[in-house]
Chains A and B, each alone.
Chain A
Amino acid sequence: MRGPRILLYTGLAVVGLFVLVTIFAPAVAPHDPTQSITNERLRPPGGGFLMGTDQLRRDVFSRVIFGGRIPLLVAIFSCATSLTLGTTLGWLSGFSGGWVDRGLSLVMDAIYSFPALVLAIAIVAMLGPGLANMIAAIAFVYVPAYFRVSRGQALVVREQEFVEAARAMGGSTLRLLVRHIAPNTLSAVMTVPSFNIADAILTEAALSFLGFGLPPPTPDWGFDIQNGQRFLQSGFWWLITFPGLVIVTVSLGFGMVGEGLNDLLNPRRRRSVG
């Protein structure tokens, strides 16, 4: 019983710290992330510059602090969109059955089978780079994850006696969905977002690493790593190491929250979840 709680609390601590630092970035960061603050370019970490400086003489530490803003924004908005869309479609599909269910399931399975990153890249490539398009692309590829969970739950709840009783008493479809199906499937659905946010942060990082994010000089971990890649062979390791470590930590934090929640909310499945 201790294991999952530790995972959950550690995860929550990491996530909480990240969210606070990101919101209060102007107060936490020692320098402006977009301004040259010294006359030494590519200065190694130490001596007033915790993580060194980049080729434009900017403070890497300040860029790392500010660099979480875009990923957090993209992750939250895309996750909220796919949660709403995927869960609603899943409820509808599982509840109504028949050809609606078969059709929707086929479409969702097809999208799910396709590499999420390739799909996201194709969408952003067609829509063009930028914040809204990145959110749309990431939201789209994660819809099936919510769809599957909420549909599966709706299928189970639909057959239960209290739903049958509500239907026998003349409850409308909408009422059945909102009053009975939705609340009873939420606990399973609610474990998805933290994994989803962890994944969305990685996808956002990948997209901005590949150049589909915001134009410079906006600080963004993925883009800063791409920038650092050019100097890697000359041995300037700090440009990529620090943004990357932060991505791993934050994504791991959300992942641990997901694991912990999963163990807590679905105790039946505890043994079966690796």
Chain B
Amino acid sequence: MHGDEHWGSESGQKEQRERVVGVGRYILARLALTIPMLLILLTVVFLILRVVPGDPCLAMLGGRNVGPEEIDNCRKTLGVDRPVAEQYLTYLKGIIRGDFGESIRTGLPVIVELLERFPATIELAFTGMFIAVLLGMVTGIFAATHSDRPADHAVRMFNIASFAMPIFWIGLMFISIFAVRLRWLPVGGRLDPIGGAVFEPITRFYLLDALLQRDIPTFLDALRHLVLPAITLGLVVSGFIGRMSRTSMLEVLGKEYVTAARSKGLHERVVIGKHALRNALIPIVTVIGLQFALLMGGAILTETVYSWPGVARYLLESIENRDFPAIQGTVVFIALFISAVNLGVDVLYARLDPRVRY
């Protein structure tokens, strides 16, 4: 950060090179830490899905009107007739090869079905996160710079309240107000069922696809469908980010270098925006990373409420149909995604904070 000023000079270039090497080494070290963590997570998932219920086939098919031979068939297909240790190894091998099994319901590979739905979830999650970060940081920093004044108390109350809001209820209330009563925005889905019927996605990120095809009406339609779900998701996560932004900013504002910047006669905007904010950002980025887990939980409810055809909805559909390979595949997929995001946040952290070196 403070190195930016030297970057033109020779010593600056050397410093930059060293930093790149340092960050590279840091990423490798973090990657090495991610692997055992992921292995444990996958083991926990295996225990919950395969060992805890005793027999997933009975758990899946028990309530249905099926004969014992069908349950036997299911056991053979899933491999649960083998010893647990062997099942565990097969399970891990499958994940490494990217083979998540085949859906009982559709017969398609689970990974294909997941990848088809993943862009919808990503589109929703990232827009939601963007709104959460924007809202959280603006209110948090505002509260910190107006500490102990009415604005600060109001922000604090909003943050506490945001932890108490059931996301699915907020979603339904938004639908009730903005879609049913005011008719400003659609009730759910990603595109208008009539207008969107002819649209052929490329990447399945609808906003991006519409832009690529220069299809402005579809772009606007996709955007209109995205507004309510993204705000719903963002609102609930924004409380954590607002809280952290306020705390972090308050802490930084008490530091000597801020006093020094002020005593140099710098404008308050420069002090806050340049000197304080950059340092306050470090813990905020960490919190944003941690919130991705919360966001994925929230995505399940948001996707349900708004009929958003994403990964989380797929999990619920699979549970409803007792499609065991699909349930397992989705949970593993979410675990992989969360680990990747955490790794990404750590790398970003290393770039933001020059003190992080391995």
**Stretch of B24-32, B267-275, B297-305 with 4 or more beta carbons under 8 angstroms from chain A:** B297-305
B45 in contact (CB, < 8 A): yes
B166 interface neighbour in A3, A113, A206, Cβ under 8 Å: A206
A100 in contact (CB, < 8 A): no
CB neighbors of B among A115-170 (8 A):
115-119, 121-123, 125-128
Contact status A121-B159, CB under 8 Å: no
CB neighbors of B among A171-199 (8 A):
198-199
Q: Is the interface of B mostly helix, strand, loop or mixed?
A: helix
CB neighbors of B among A211-245 (8 A):
222, 225, 228-229, 232-233, 235, 237, 240-241, 244
- Cβ of A3: which chain B residues have Cβ within 8 Å of it? 153
- Cβ of A222: which chain B residues have Cβ within 8 Å of it? 166
**Stretch of A19-27, A86-94, A247-255 with 4 or more beta carbons under 8 angstroms from chain B:** A247-255
Contact status A240-B172, CB under 8 Å: yes
- Tally inter-chain residue pairs, CB-CB below 8 A: 151
Contact status A113-B342, CB under 8 Å: yes
Q: In whole angstroms, what is the CA distance A121 to B160 when docked? A: 25
**Stretch of A33-41, A50-58, A61-69, A104-112 with 4 or more beta carbons under 8 angstroms from chain B:** A104-112
Q: Known interface pairs A106-B37, A255-B164. Does A122 touch B49 (Cβ–Cβ under 8 Å)?
A: yes
Contact status A244-B173, CB under 8 Å: yes
- Cβ of A126: which chain B residues have Cβ within 8 Å of it? 48-49, 52-53, 56, 59
Interface size class of A (residues with CB under 8 A): 35 or more
Contact status B246-A274, CB under 8 Å: yes
Q: In whole angstroms, what is the CA distance A19 to B334 when docked? A: 37
The residue in chain B whose Cβ has the minimal distance to the Cβ of A198 is: B164
- Cβ of A268: which chain B residues have Cβ within 8 Å of it? none
B36 in contact (CB, < 8 A): yes
B74 in contact (CB, < 8 A): no
The residue in chain B whose Cβ has the minimal distance to the Cβ of A137 is: B48
B149-174 interface code vs A (CB 8 A; 1 in, 0 out): 00001001001110111111100110
B191 in contact (CB, < 8 A): no
A65 to B: closest C-beta gap in Å: 18
Interface size class of B (residues with CB under 8 A): 35 or more
Q: Is the interface of A mostly helix, strand, loop or mixed?
A: helix
B residues with CB within 8 A of A = 36-37, 40-41, 44-45, 48-49, 52-53, 56, 59, 140, 153, 156, 159-161, 163-169, 172-173, 175-176, 180-181, 187, 242-244, 246-247, 250-251, 293-298, 300-301, 304-305, 312, 315-316, 319, 327, 331, 334-335, 338-339, 342
A271 to B: closest C-beta gap in Å: 7
Contact status A259-B296, CB under 8 Å: no
A118 interface neighbour in B37, B161, B331, Cβ under 8 Å: B331
A17 to B: closest C-beta gap in Å: 16
Contact status A113-B293, CB under 8 Å: yes
- Cβ of B41: which chain A residues have Cβ within 8 Å of it? 110-111, 113-114
- Pairs A-B, 6 closest by C-beta atoms: A274-B243, A117-B297, A244-B169, A251-B164, A115-B297, A252-B164
Q: Known interface pairs A202-B166, A229-B172, A274-B244. Does A259 touch B160 (Cβ–Cβ under 8 Å)?
A: yes
Contact status A115-B338, CB under 8 Å: yes
